[in-house]
A and B are shown apart, each in its own frame.
Chain A
């Protein structure tokens, strides 16, 4: 398969994730959709690594994976804290920090 197919697929995954981030209201689902976007980027990085025949893209994809894990840990901690404090699970109503 040509590398271009992988790149187009990664663009599709990224955009589906973007739709989810914009459309959904539950912070949990927004986090999951962020994972989708990161995975789309990972696929593009792996494709470029294959295209150039070097490992650098794969190393970058691994770093993205680790950063995503850190993001999930902090994000889920926030969601648990929101649940504990009886805050509404709705990003539209969580507007107290708005300036």
Chain B
């Protein structure tokens, strides 16, 4: 049963990932990414990372993807400059990625980790639950927790500064109707 769920989720995750790269319309790329992220949440559940799976669905599929869809809609279906394989870098990019894949796979399978061919040790029922993760965040990982919250604040302020309309811009923005800021 676990194997079936794993393979279905793995195929969906890989298919979504490939869809992200090959879709020409950015909107379809975003939708492929949603499929990929949901499949990944299923894999997290298989790994008994319950809180991680829930956070994946809420943060990524819920918040980040909505942001992406908004920006794609705002920027418009920008005619994505299609890849021209004429440039040498683009033509060899898949080769580089293949070399990277072989390298990582060899590193994983040859790592000599004893537990890599097992399903992991038996864990208590509360493994990966929000209470366990939250306790760690407030005790062992308190400093990273605070730093990350500070990072979020910086990112929010930075996004406002970046995306704000320049008040000294003299050129009227013709794409939008006057008098309607959004």
A positions within 8 Å CB-CB of B: 1-9, 11-20, 22-26, 28-29, 32-33, 35-36, 39, 42-43, 46-47, 49-53, 55-56, 58-59, 61-63, 65-74, 76-81, 83-84, 89-90, 92
Contacts and interface: CB of A to CB of B under 8 A. Distances in A.
Task: Please provide the 3 A-B residue pairs with the shortest distance between their CB atoms, ordered closest to farther.
Answer: A70-B155, A77-B162, A22-B93
Nearest to B87: A92
Q: Is chain B's interface secondary structure helix, strand, loop, or mixed overall?
A: helix
Nearest to A4: B116
A22 B81 contact: no
Nearest to A93: B81
Residue picked from B43, B123, B152, most chain A C-beta under 10 Å? B43
B120 interface: yes
A23 B80 CA distance: 12
Contacts of A69: 59, 63-64, 152, 155
Interface string B49-74: 10110011001100110011001101
A17 B123 CA distance: 32
B118 A12 contact: no
A65 B49 contact: no
15 contacts: A9-B14, A11-B108, A13-B13, A15-B98, A15-B100, A22-B93, A23-B94, A24-B21, A26-B26, A32-B30, A50-B120, A55-B128, A63-B148, A69-B59, A69-B152
Interface of B: 2-3, 6, 10, 13-14, 17-18, 20-21, 26, 29-30, 33, 36-37, 40, 43-44, 46-49, 51-52, 55-56, 59-60, 63-64, 67-68, 71-72, 74-75, 78, 80-81, 83, 89-90, 93-94, 96-98, 100-101, 104-105, 108-109, 113, 115-121, 123, 127-128, 132-133, 136-137, 141, 144, 148, 151-152, 154-156, 158-163, 165, 173
B58 to A, nearest CB: 10
A51 B14 contact: no
Given A3-B115, A8-B105, A53-B121, A77 B158 contact: yes
